[in-house]
Structure 1
Amino acid sequence: MHHAMITWLVLLVFAFVLGTGQAGPSLNNCNPTKAEATCQECINLGPGCAWCKALNFTKAGEPNSARCDSVEVLKNRGCEMVDIINPENMANVKENRHLGVFGDTVIQIKPQKVQLVLRRGSPQKMEVKFKRAEGYPVDLYYLMDLSYSMKDDLEKVKNLGGQLLEALKSVTKSIQIGFGSFVDKTILPFVNTHKEKMKNPCPDKNEACQPPFDFRHVLKLTNDANIFTAEVGKQSISGNLDPPEAGLDAMMQAAVCGEAIGWRNVTRLLVYTSDDGFHSAGDGKLGAILTPNDGKCHLNAQGFYEDNTKYDYPSVAELASKLAENNIQPIFAVTSKIMPIYQELSKMIPKSAVGELSEDSSNVVQLIKDAYNNLSSTVILKHSNLPDGVRISYTSHCIDGDTENDKKGTCSNVRINEEIRFTITITADKCLTKAESFEIRPLGFTENLEITVQTECNCKCDDKPDLSEHCDNKGKVKCGICSCTEDRIGKFCKCDPGKRSTLDLDAACRRDNTSATCSNQGDCVCGACICHTNPNKKIYGKYCECDDQNCERNLGKLCAGHGKCDCGTCHCNSDYDGTACECEKAEEQCKQDKDSKICSGRGTCTCNQCKCNAGYQPPYCKECPGCPSPCPTYVHCIECLGFSSGPYQKNCTESCQNIKHTVVDELTEQNTCKEKDSKNCWMNFLMKELDGVSQYHVTIRKKTECPEPTNVIAIVIGGVVGVLLIGLLILLIWKLVTELYDRREYKRFEKEKAKAKWNDADNPLFQKATTTVFNPNFNED
């Protein structure tokens, strides 16, 4: 009992860690489209579909597709569990070392290797644990903008090495730092390519500046602060033309040139400092650079990015991918004026941080320390490229609750030595041709979980390789159905194939693709139905679809006792009628008078009552209220019969055989028809429907109504004269208006003139001087 309890607990824990992978109630339709379906086709319909391999499971006439259904349905139909094929997911943990620090080995994620065998469409859950280790090693590469505006910042950075090492030693004992710098692409319009400016790009010629460059790797990662101080101390400022810099170029080279930079397999930080924006993909066209960035290392022996004028700047997406691929976490230390730009950039680069840099970079050490603590306390679990047809989702079990995401698992504020959990659900939506692998890793850390996935899309039925008596010794049993040799076909390999296949034989025993073989009332033997014998009814027909009992009954009697049942239809005796032969034949109530046709020729008389054609109304099928008027339909017949013209003129008798007509001088009845003929004249006529289908008598008025011909000459002359008269009238009106306006203006002028107060000799514009000045030296001589 004690051992049984321990075993039960172990199984329970294993199920909790890896998940059962068992699908819930299936919503799939477990009905294969082919009647002769196979076990493989069945289980690939979905995780809820199973196959019964028992030899005699299907009944006579049932197709092989009847073996495919849910487990419960198959059990209820008598299939034993040992005969039910229903593959389930399997998970095998290949490596599951404990979390912690073991000497130089740090393990922060568990398990490390898992092998999954998945059934198509069936989700598999597994649990991943992460524990943040204390003192995790760090590599920090300092990437600095050396454009002229960063002159003051460079002096601070030259004394930065010891401070950085000392600050980060509080969180890790293993720290390395390196240095690189960037300006911009060495081509117009990014830098001044004048010969003198390419030697010294500083605004002041007397000031020493180094030649412009795109990216330069200065110092490989080292733990010696003195070397950092010495190498950075040799650096001098440079310059370029436009404000944005080649920052993305520099980050790309720092990420992909791992050997030159000296990255270890530890936490990798890339500190990026600048006081301006950055160029991105497409900006290179300004300098006629059309080749996209290839994401490869192009550093020469001196550490310069030598192909910077050949390749365009990288896109943000391409850079983010390379940073994640190389496990690098960027820290953007930028001035306040451009912080919004880099905050937006950080949103597109997972596991990155942004800090405000003082104008002279004096706070950069504290900024880096704070950003590192923030990045390392955020755990982001992401996967590499998934195999085609495989999808994944995450459930993060964090301190502040559970969250679900299809792209990543995230927990924030994770403390050192704190263990967190993620539940990962992996589903294969299609069958894989081979085993494929992918990785799940916490961004910013070197450990990963390697998952190998393969799919189980075939049935393992443990069939014997020998010929079976069940298949007439002419075939082998495969999952309960016969696989015949080349010289035999059929459900039990009893038939000579000729030019036919088993599917052809099966199709010959079906009325259509959806019906059962021989209507489930016979056996299909080599393409022909042999109907079952039944003491209670006679079964017959090409597909055994007929019997002599399946007909309508009246008063409990088959065909009311007045006829015979034949394949679902009652054939009544001569003096009885009705679908069940329930009434005596009579037609008196189906005629309006003795000379009328039965139901006016537009219906059938059953049990002395009319069943009218669509639209016509009982009792005699005379009226059809909803039917359209026949007048427009027979307008050509009316024209040829009444006026010997129109399209039917040459074959009027043949085209209008269903119409009788009379021509009269006037029509006295109401509701006459009025339609235009081929000459645009109106024809008046009256149509009355006769017994039968589309039979009419038409009374036509002898005379048509034609419109008067148009007098073209009068219209033309009248139009010309009218235009001239209108033009002349407009001119007269204009002359009259201008004359009246001129007269009114002249009168106003005369009135104003009469009011004038000056003499005719005076100038009304002249004014006398208001002040007179005398010169005492002037004698008026």
Structure 2
Amino acid sequence: MEKCKISSEAKLCSGRGICKCGQCECQNGFSGNYCEYDDNSCPKPNDQLCFGHGRCIRGQCTCDLGYSGKDCSCKMDDKDCYAPYSTEVCSGKGQCICGACVCDTKKGKNETYSGVFCDSCDDCVAARCKELGNYAYCNYIHRDNKAICDRDEGSKVSNIIVEFANKSEINGPKLYMATRCMKDLETNNGSVMIFKYRYINRDLKITIQEEFESPPIANIWNFIRSNVTCRLSSPKGYTELHLHSTALNALGVSLYCYLPYTGFNSRVCVTTKKFSKNRKKPFSSAIICPTWELNPRPVAVLSAIGLVLLIGILTVIIWKILVDMHDKKEYKKFKDEALAAGYDVSPSVNPVYQDPCMNFSNPVYNNQCTT
């Protein structure tokens, strides 16, 4: 019977089983040589024993295949770290840890990428739009049969929702926060297809504009930042942007944009297109995200300079007044102390002072000399 006790003072089989032939037969929910382990005492994330991905044996979680950790909550598979219709783990800007993306730090900056799949950044927009462009166009062509576009994509499109909207709807408040993209349709008289995408939990929702749009006459325009508008001329209130991009400078144009926010060195993505003479079909295009140097408006610059000068002048005047007041106070103090010591400090001629000017009379002047 002693073989069924964990110690001499303990109960047989810890009071959780019966002793047969020197071995404990434990009740359901208990395990161990002496039934000392409670198989319901393991971690219960979300009120699920071992997160529902393992069994509690001898007081510890024994995880199912594909899971790890003390509570079996760490998913070892990285399939949930792929953005819908993407071939890169965490969009190539993070690491998959326990089935979730941990985003990298941006090079040269003290900030990290963001988003469920680390794809929320200015630099990511153009690449993501290009990645989704063909899939969106396929769904436009096969509007009533999404399965045709999904056929060869496998799990990449398992959680993609596609919907259609007219031009006013796609530019309306419901889709204001969605990211705007466009795809060149060179086989359709150079038209462009507009679509937007956004994430709902981990699902990707693509909204495609029903109407195609004609290519703009200008050879540069902005589609990426919906709150930035650009023109080739200089409308009132617009500020010139100097382009720091060989591809854009080669076009030989000046671009003026209206930025509803302040600050210089703003980042704006633009699509460049060079058209043939009839301006119907583009023969080259590119999406570029240069760093723009915002040339501040003259009024703003002059106002800032004037304010700095005014503050400087007022500071000098105030300093001079304070110095004079201090000197006057100190002189009065000196005068009082000198008078108390018997010195006359009133304005007078210094007794040791000698006038540098002297008078001499020439005795022979005007025949006044005597012999």
TM-score between the two structures when normalised by the length of structure 1: 0.13
Q: Which has the larger radius of gyration?
A: 1
TM-score between the two structures when normalised by the length of structure 2: 0.22
